[in-house]
């Protein structure tokens, strides 16, 4: 989507929608109840964001302690920040957007969509040093998932295959020295 229409929607469309909704709600329930409703939604939203923010932070710390990149949790944190901004802006339209972002399953769904979308883009946009997208170098190799104990045993076996002859600084293969 081009950037100019997006800015027009954000900076002109959203305030117009807010003004329209405030006038309509104020005409239906009165000015003071409308102002109280806007203040109440802001206070309630900030309270809910604080609770969910701590929960998201704990999930991110758990992911990091397990050695997993907390990408989804980081995006959820950004969405909570955006929700807080929406709830602090006076109006009912932005409050609706803010409260929608406070629904954890919806927020997790949006975050996982963005994470998977970013992963797919990164897989297909691998470029080489010259910046040619999609024409990157491919490397073949083998991968073996080892526990730390298995890795230690493999390293010890490799060390036993080589022997240092003192004084010469050479490494001999143990098979050659046995012959």
Torsions phi, psi of 70, nearest 5? -85, 55
Q: Could you give the C-alpha distances from 1 to 4, 7, 79, 89, in angstroms and in order?
A: 9, 11, 21, 25
Q: Is 122 exposed, middle or buried (0-12, 13-18, 19+ CB in 10 A)?
A: exposed
Q: Which residues, other chains included, contact 20 with Cβ-Cβ below 8 Å and sequence gap of 6+?
A: none
Q: Is 165 helix (H, G, I), strand (E, B) or coil?
A: strand
Question: What local confidence, expressed as pLDDT, does residue 41 receive?
Answer: 92
Dihedral sign for Cα 112, 116, 121, 127, please: positive
Question: What local confidence, expressed as pLDDT, does residue 129 receive?
Answer: 45
pLDDT digits (tens, 9 = 90+) for 84-123: 999 999 999 999 999 999 999 999 899 888 888 877 776 6
Q: Which residues, other chains included, contact 80 with Cβ-Cβ below 8 Å and sequence gap of 6+?
A: 49, 52, 53, 56, 101, 102, 107
Per-residue pLDDT tens listing for the chain (179 residues)? 688 888 888 889 999 999 999 999 999 999 999 999 999 999 999 899 999 999 999 999 998 899 888 888 899 999 999 999 999 999 999 999 999 999 999 998 998 888 888 777 766 555 444 445 555 566 677 777 888 888 888 888 877 776 555 555 555 555 555 44
Which pTM value belongs to this model?
0.63
Both tokens of 164, joined, read 């240092």
Whole-number Å distance between alpha carbons of 86 and 93: 9
Question: What local confidence, expressed as pLDDT, does residue 117 receive?
Answer: 82
């Amino acid at each position: 989507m081009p950037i100019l229409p997006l800015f027009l929607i954000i900076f002109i469309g959203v305030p117009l929608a807010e003004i329209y909704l405030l006038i309509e709600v104020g005409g239906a329930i009165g000015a003071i109840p409308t102002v109280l409703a806007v203040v109440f939604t802001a206070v309630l939203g900030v309270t809910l964001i604080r609770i969910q923010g701590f929960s998201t932070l704990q999930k991110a710390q758990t992911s990091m302690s397990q050695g997993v990149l907390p990408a989804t949790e980081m995006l959820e944190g950004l969405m909570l920040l955006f929700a807080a901004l929406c709830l602090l802006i006076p109006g009912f339209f932005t409050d609706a957007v803010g409260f929608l972002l406070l629904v954890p399953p919806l927020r997790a769904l949006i975050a996982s969509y963005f994470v998977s979308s970013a992963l797919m883009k990164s897989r297909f946009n691998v470029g080489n040093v010259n910046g040619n997208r999609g024409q990157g170098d491919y490397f073949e190799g083998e991968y073996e998932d080892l526990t730390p104990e298995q890795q230690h045993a493999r390293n010890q076996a490799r060390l036993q295959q080589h022997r240092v002859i003192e004084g010469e600084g050479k490494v001999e293969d143990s098979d050659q020295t046995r012959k």
